[in-house]
Amino acid sequence: MNETKITSLTRAELASARAAGQSRTAVAQVQASPPYVWDGIDEDDRPLGREEMQAGIEAAAPRRRGRPGDGEKESTTIHLDRDILNTFRAEGPG
């Protein structure tokens, strides 16, 4: 692994370095490198296929929390008198 030195630059220093072509990123090196070709020896180095990639994405997707939304129930609003609500609230939670 290459050793890297992390430094802090001001916005002006960064802008002047970019203008001079002295970017501190390896974007140009990555874009210039040839595409990866698997040698067929080590199975751990094999790139994923489209189906394997999609299965990994679906497995890592966050799951929905809360009650499942089935089509048998419908949300509605009702209006009750204050004395009825006070009675329910006086009886406790639930």
What does the pLDDT look like over 15-53, one tens digit per residue? 787 787 766 665 666 667 788 788 888 888 888 889 999
Token pair 């009886």 is at which residue? 91
Alpha carbon 57 to its chain's center: 10
Q: What 3 state SS string does the chain have?
A: CCCCCCCCCCHHHHHHHHHCCCCCCCHHHHHHCCCCCCCCCCHHHCCCCHHHHHHHHHHHCCCCCCCCCCCCCCCCCCCCCHHHHHHHHHCCCC
| pLDDT averaged over every residue in the chain | 79
Angle at 86 between CA 83 and CA 92, to 5 degrees: 150
What pLDDT was estimated at residue 18? 76
Q: Domain boundaries in the chain?
A: 8-61
Q: Rounded distance, CA 34 to CA 85, Å?
A: 71
Record the tokens describing residue 36, joined without a space.
């990866």
pLDDT mean over 47-67: 85
pLDDT mean over 67-93: 85
What pLDDT was estimated at residue 77? 92
What pLDDT was estimated at residue 80? 92
What pLDDT was estimated at residue 59? 87
What pLDDT was estimated at residue 47? 86
Q: What is the pTM of this model?
A: 0.31
What pLDDT was estimated at residue 81? 93
